[in-house]
């Protein structure tokens, strides 16, 4: 949505990820605003957040250079056609969810001022060589609120199933990030995409399909990703579903990720 990401290799063999911002973003932002954005991103330091390595504002280009995560994204791990998906055991999924939750806790509670992600989704949850989480696009919310990108972000989040109900009204808060986190957990639980137009009409939006079944133990068991082959503790599954429910219910009262999970 904000731009394209490229894999870059330096002469010394070091691999980096380069995000080239879309013209729709850069055309609505002055150079000093971009430099302020870079400074704010550079202050984000956490084990579960992708580290900014550098930037470029030359030749009409605006680039953000990040550390490279060798195992791609959670979206790719769950929804690609290769065999990587089979490596995501129940424990691996728990670790991914915890890493993502800790990243949000850091952004919402430890950063001053607090940071709303605004584009939290499985494609932005990157995985390193040991499947540790690195959340990307942190600190880029100011770009999403610029001009036509703001309108586009609302359409995309709604269409792809990550947008909280209030987003349709142009409202986005810390709770909205928590809602998106609940959708990500649903992906981990079911192995389904947040929005899949290939499925029957009543199953295309993951939250709408799943929300009424999360507290029905039989229905919940049928929802679990078949690739797990039943290899998960029933109690852990129930707790996982309870957290999801508290994140995505329409009138949810959960405000901070720490209150729902993090020890």
Beta partners for residue 65, in sequence order? 18, 54
* Count of beta carbons in the 10 Å neighbourhood of residue 32: 8
Q: How far apart are CA 89 and CA 74, in angstroms?
A: 13
Decide: helix, strand or coil at residue 26. Answer: helix
What is the per-residue pLDDT across 88-142, written as a single tens digit (0 to 9) for each? Answer: 899 999 999 999 999 999 999 999 999 999 999 999 999 998 899 999 999 998 8
Closest C-alpha to 197, from 149, 242, 160, 250: 160
The residue ranges of every structural domain in the chain are 71-260
Q: How far apart are CA 128 and CA 1, in angstroms?
A: 23
Closest C-alpha to 257, from 187, 146, 178, 185: 178
Confidence tier at 165 by pLDDT (50, 70, 90): confident
For residue 141, give both structure tokens: 């919310």
What average pLDDT does the structure give for the chain? 86
Return the CATH number of 71-260, one of 1.10.3720.10, 1.10.1040.10, 1.10.510.10, 1.20.140.10: 1.10.510.10
Write down the pLDDT at residue 83.
Answer: 65
What is the per-residue pLDDT across 75-92, written as a single tens digit (0 to 9) for each? Answer: 999 998 766 655 789 999
Q: Do 49 and 134 contact (CB within 8 A), yes or no?
A: yes
């Amino acid at each position: 949505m904000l731009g394209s990401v490229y894999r870059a290799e330096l002469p010394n063999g070091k691999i980096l990820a380069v995000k080239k911002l879309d013209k729709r973003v850069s055309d609505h932002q002055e150079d000093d605003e971009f430099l302020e954005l870079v400074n704010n991103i550079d202050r984000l330091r956490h084990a579960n957040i992708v580290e900014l390595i550098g930037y470029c504002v030359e030749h009409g280009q605006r680039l953000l250079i990040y550390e490279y995560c060798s195992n791609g994204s959670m979206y790719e791990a769950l929804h690609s056609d290769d065999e990587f998906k089979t490596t995501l055991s129940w424990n691996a999924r728990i670790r991914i969810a915890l890493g993502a939750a800790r990243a949000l806790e850091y952004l919402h509670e430890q950063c001053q001022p607090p940071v709303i992600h605004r584009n939290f989704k499985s494609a932005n949850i990157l995985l390193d060589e040991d499947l540790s989480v690195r959340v990307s696009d942190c600190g880029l919310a100011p770009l999403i609120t610029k001009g036509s990108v703001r309108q586009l972000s609302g359409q995309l989040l709604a269409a792809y199933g990550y947008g909280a109900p209030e987003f349709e009204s142009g409202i986005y808060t810390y709770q909205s990030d928590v809602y998106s986190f609940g959708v990500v957990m649903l992906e981990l639980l079911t192995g389904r995409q947040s929005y899949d137009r290939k499925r029957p009409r009543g199953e295309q939006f993951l939250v709408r399909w799943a929300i009424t079944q999360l507290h029905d133990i039989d229905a919940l068991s049928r929802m679990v990703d078949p690739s797990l082959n039943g290899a998960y503790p029933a109690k852990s599954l129930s707790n996982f579903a309870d957290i999801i429910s508290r994140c995505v219910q329409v009138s949810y009262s959960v405000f901070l990720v720490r209150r729902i999970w993090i020890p």
